[in-house]
């Protein structure tokens, strides 16, 4: 179609890629953060457990030596030597006795006496006379170790030496690495599960989106009424249902529009043909008698009025459709307006043998807010429909009354009731007669928008337009208008 932009192809792969990248990137970052945190927590737990165990041993050993070993260096050395020789955890730990100068005196691992470990736990323990620990690499071997040094302090404050426990972290590091690898495997499994789940999910999203896109393209190209098979029970199913409903509504609207154009064309052509024919006859046929000329002029006038009413309805309907239709509310004597409309219509339908009976209200009607011109249009249209569709009954009855506290709403309404004695409306058409362009099974001429315009005018007055079949035959139309004060 000229001026319409081409429909861009639906990029399924692009949507899938963007979805997977965004979701997997978030999951990857979260799992990496969780993995790093888990590894750090596990490592900290194991390392602190080893250090706590060494601190407990060092505390009890230093207390024993400080309280029960004599204060001479010879006795201290002999006790340290025996304690080291009898140490039953030598396969796991290294027990060392360090001199106040920071050199090894006795060691379960047989380290050379006089060597200096050189770790900060020893110097800190000597300086503060409190237990200190070290976690890091052994300066001599480069091996990762954890060491705890507890000073042997006697009552006079003299430091006899330091008892030091050392443990290799090789096994602990392996344990931490093994836990980290297990966590990595679990994380990889979770990521794979998320990937597969996302793949299935995005496929369930992309497939119906592709169908909806194809459907909207067909609708844009004029394929109204097409339907998508709806096998979904979630929000996607709701969207597919909405698209299907839209397709049906557009198809219906197009059908109604086509019928409306055809109907209006026919309605316009019929009076124009009559006007054109009689105008030519009256202009060129000089043999016509006076009675025939008057009859021809009456037909031209009647058809011209029909054209005027039809054009007025179309103009009003156009304003309603684009939101420009408004009413001018003022104080209104509805009884006077109804009497004038009945007088006008009575003379028009009298020639067709239809009698219009108007029964005035028993009590004066209150002044109501309304647009006199628009409400008169509504009344005339309803009377015209009664004559057109129910004229076979040769009688139309109009009355006016007051409905106080209508349907327990707390509001008062004036009711205009118009009844004909024709065939009535088929029950299956009652709910559609106020729809635009609807003509139903009636063969009477009309555009199908008169009642739709009336309904909109009454709605703008906060009123109600009700159409139903009357008991005993015929149709009854009620217009209820509120009696409230003028809007500010």
Statement to judge: residues 377 and 429 lie in one domain: yes
Q: Is the dihedral of CA 340, 345, 351, 356 positive or negative?
A: negative
Mark residue 404 as left, alpha or beta (left: phi above 0; alpha: psi -120 to 50; beta: remaining). beta
Alpha-carbon Rg of the chain, whole angstroms? 51
- Which of 288, 321, 354 terminates a domain? The answer is 321
34 located within any domain = yes
Q: Check which CATH number belongs to the domain holding 354 and give it.
A: 3.30.565.10
CA-nearest of 309, 320, 486, 274 to 380 is 309
Is there a contact between 447 and 313 (Cβ–Cβ < 8 Å)?
Answer: yes
79 located within any domain = yes
Residue 106, pLDDT score: 87
Residue 28, pLDDT score: 84
Residue 438, pLDDT score: 65
Average pLDDT, the chain: 82
Statement to judge: residues 273 and 354 lie in one domain: no
204 located within any domain = no
Neighbours of 165 (CB within 10 A): 25
110 located within any domain = yes
- What does the pLDDT profile of the chain (488 residues) look like in tens digits? 444 444 444 444 566 677 777 777 888 888 888 888 888 898 888 889 999 999 998 888 888 877 766 566 777 788 888 888 888 888 888 898 888 888 888 888 776 667 888 889 999 998 898 999 999 998 888 889 999 999 988 767 778 889 999 998 888 889 889 988 998 898 888 888 888 887 777 777 777 777 777 777 877 777 766 777 777 677 777 777 887 888 787 777 777 677 667 767 766 777 788 888 888 888 887 778 888 888 888 888 878 887 887 777 777 777 776 777 788 899 999 999 999 989 888 887 888 889 999 999 988 899 999 999 889 989 988 998 898 888 888 899 999 999 887 877 778 999 999 999 998 888 888 887 887 666 666 655 555 677 888 888 999 999 999 999 998 889 999 999 999 776 55
Statement to judge: residues 342 and 395 lie in one domain: yes
- Which of 272, 296, 321 terminates a domain? The answer is 321
Statement to judge: residues 385 and 443 lie in one domain: yes
Q: How many residues does the chain have?
A: 488
pLDDT per residue as tens digits for the range 291-336:
888 888 888 887 888 788 777 777 777 777 677 778 889 999 999 9
Q: How far apart (Å, rounded) are the C-alpha atoms in residues 152 and 161?
A: 5
Statement to judge: residues 461 and 340 lie in one domain: yes
Q: Check which CATH number belongs to the domain holding 261 and give it.
A: 1.10.287.130
Q: Check which CATH number belongs to the domain holding 36 and give it.
A: 3.30.450.20
Residue 477, pLDDT score: 94
Q: How far apart (Å, rounded) are the C-alpha atoms in residues 75 and 319?
A: 117
409 located within any domain = yes
Statement to judge: residues 475 and 338 lie in one domain: yes
Statement to judge: residues 373 and 287 lie in one domain: no
Statement to judge: residues 308 and 445 lie in one domain: no
Residue 2, pLDDT score: 46
Statement to judge: residues 309 and 361 lie in one domain: no
- Which of 129, 148, 175 terminates a domain? The answer is 175
Residue 294, pLDDT score: 84
Q: Is the dihedral of CA 416, 421, 422, 426 positive or negative?
A: positive
Residue 388, pLDDT score: 85
Statement to judge: residues 446 and 364 lie in one domain: yes
335 located within any domain = yes
Domain that holds residue 117: 17-175
Residue 473, pLDDT score: 87
Q: Could you tell me the two tokens for 381?
A: 């249209």
451 located within any domain = yes
276 located within any domain = yes
Residue 9, pLDDT score: 47
Residue 416, pLDDT score: 95
Q: How far apart (Å, rounded) are the C-alpha atoms in residues 392 and 203?
A: 64
Domain count, the chain: 3
Statement to judge: residues 295 and 376 lie in one domain: no
Angle in degrees, 0-180, between the axes of helices 290-321 and 372-390, rounded to the nearest 10: 120
In this prediction the pTM is: 0.48
pLDDT per residue as tens digits for the range 401-425:
998 878 777 789 999 999 999 988 8
Q: How far apart (Å, rounded) are the C-alpha atoms in residues 113 and 81?
A: 12
Statement to judge: residues 477 and 416 lie in one domain: yes
Q: How far apart (Å, rounded) are the C-alpha atoms in residues 485 and 22?
A: 60
């Amino acid at each position: 179609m000229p001026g319409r932009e081409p429909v861009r192809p639906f990029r399924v792969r692009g949507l899938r890629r963007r979805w997977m990248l965004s979701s997997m990137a978030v999951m990857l970052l979260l799992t990496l953060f969780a993995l790093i945190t888990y590894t750090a927590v596990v490592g900290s737990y194991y390392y602190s457990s080893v250090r706590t165990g060494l601190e407990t041993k060092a505390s009890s050993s230093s207390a024993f030596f400080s309280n029960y070993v004599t204060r001479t260096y010879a006795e201290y050395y002999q006790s340290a030597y025996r304690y080291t020789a009898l140490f039953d955890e030598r396969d796991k730990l290294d027990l060392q006795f360090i001199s106040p100068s920071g050199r090894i005196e006795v060691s379960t691992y047989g380290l050379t006496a006089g060597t200096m470990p050189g770790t900060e736990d020893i110097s800190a323990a000597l300086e503060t006379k409190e237990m200190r620990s070290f976690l890091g690499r052994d300066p001599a071997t480069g091996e990762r170790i954890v060491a705890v040094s507890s000073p042997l302090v006697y009552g006079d404050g003299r430091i006899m030496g330091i008892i030091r426990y050392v443990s290799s972290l090789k096994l602990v590091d392996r344990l931490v690495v093994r836990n980290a690898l297990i966590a990595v495997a679990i994380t990889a499994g979770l990521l794979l599960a998320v990937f597969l789940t996302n793949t299935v999910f995005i496929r369930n999203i992309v497939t119906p989106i592709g169908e909806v896109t194809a459907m909207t393209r067909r609708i844009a190209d004029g394929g109204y009424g097409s339907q998508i098979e709806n096998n979904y029970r979630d929000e996607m199913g709701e969207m597919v249902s909405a698209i299907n409903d839209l397709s049906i509504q557009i198809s219906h609207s197009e059908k109604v529009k086509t019928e409306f154009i055809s109907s209006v064309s026919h309605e316009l052509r019929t009076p124009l043909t009559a006007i054109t024919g009689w105008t030519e006859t009256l202009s060129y046929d000089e043999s016509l008698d006076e009675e025939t000329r008057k009859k021809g002029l009456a037909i031209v006038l009647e058809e011209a009025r029909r054209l005027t009413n039809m054009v007025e309805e179309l103009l009003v309907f156009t304003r309603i459709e684009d939101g420009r239709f408004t009413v001018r509310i003022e104080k209104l004597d509805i009884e006077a307006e109804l009497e004038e409309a009945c007088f006008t219509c009575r003379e028009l339908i009298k020639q067709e043998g239809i009698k219009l009976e108007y029964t005035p209200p028993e009590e004066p009607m209150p002044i109501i807010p309304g647009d006199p011109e628009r409400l008169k249009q509504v009344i005339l249209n309803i009377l015209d429909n009664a004559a057109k569709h129910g004229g076979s009954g040769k009688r139309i009855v109009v009355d006016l009354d007051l409905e106080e506290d209508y349907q327990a709403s707390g509001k008062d309404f004036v009711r205009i009731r118009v009844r004909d004695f024709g065939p009535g409306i088929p029950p299956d058409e009652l709910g559609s007669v106020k729809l635009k362009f609807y003509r139903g099974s009636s063969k009477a001429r009309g555009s199908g928008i008169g009642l739709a315009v009336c309904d909109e005018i009454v709605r703008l007055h906060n009123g109600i337009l009700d159409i139903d079949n009357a008991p005993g035959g015929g149709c009854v139309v009620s217009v209820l208008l509120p009696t409230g004060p003028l809007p500010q």
